[in-house]
Structure 1
Amino acid sequence: MASIPTPPEEPRDSTDAYVGLESGAAERLARQRGWSTVRSLAPGTMITMEYRVGRINFEVEAGRVTRAWKG
């Protein structure tokens, strides 16, 4: 029987640290800190709600991150 794989660890990072940053700078910083997927979204964008380990989401308005969350 195959063993259950261990999911990768997420970066130990506060999503609040990205709010207010310019979107490009926030994406570069997130990748430097180990996030494998960075998703930038316009306010009100419809998205699926599945949780993805290693993904950080940014809501971006006028070129700045207004909200950030994991998954």
Structure 2
Amino acid sequence: MNETSKRSEPPQDDLDAYVGLAARAAEERARERGWSTVRSLPPGAIITMEYLSGRINLAVEDGEVVRCWKG
């Protein structure tokens, strides 16, 4: 596997483990685990739906992650 294909694969991570974490802790954890883009959003935010490999999305309510998904 070359360096480019390594970057195109999202990190192998348990997304459910982010739920319940404080937003800042979840963002730091995601970056440490290799996510290239970490996006924190309020629940129900209107966002573009393009899939970006290497991006993790965190729905944050009252400073806590309530949902997490990749892309």
TM-score when normalising by structure 2: 0.89
Report the CA distance between 1:8 and its aligned residue.
1.6
2: CA distance between counterparts of 1:66 and 1:56?
Answer: 13
Aligned sequence identity (%)? 63
1:44 aligns to 2:53 (yes or no): no
Stretches of structure 2 that go unaligned for 5 or more consecutive residues are: none
Match of 1:23 in 2: 23
1: CA distance between counterparts of 2:10 and 2:52?
Answer: 10
Moved over 2 A (4+): none
1: CA distance between counterparts of 2:16 and 2:43?
Answer: 17
Q: Output the aligned Cα RMSD.
A: 1.3
Match of 2:12 in 1: 12
Match of 2:58 in 1: 58
Q: Which protein has the larger Cα radius of gyration, Structure 1 or Structure 2?
A: 1
2: CA distance between counterparts of 1:70 and 1:15?
Answer: 8
The number of equivalent residue pairs is: 67
* Paired amino acid for 2:35: W
Indicate the SS of the match to 2:57.
Answer: strand
* Paired amino acid for 1:34: G
**Which of the two has greater helix per residue?**
2
Stretches of structure 1 that go unaligned for 5 or more consecutive residues are: none
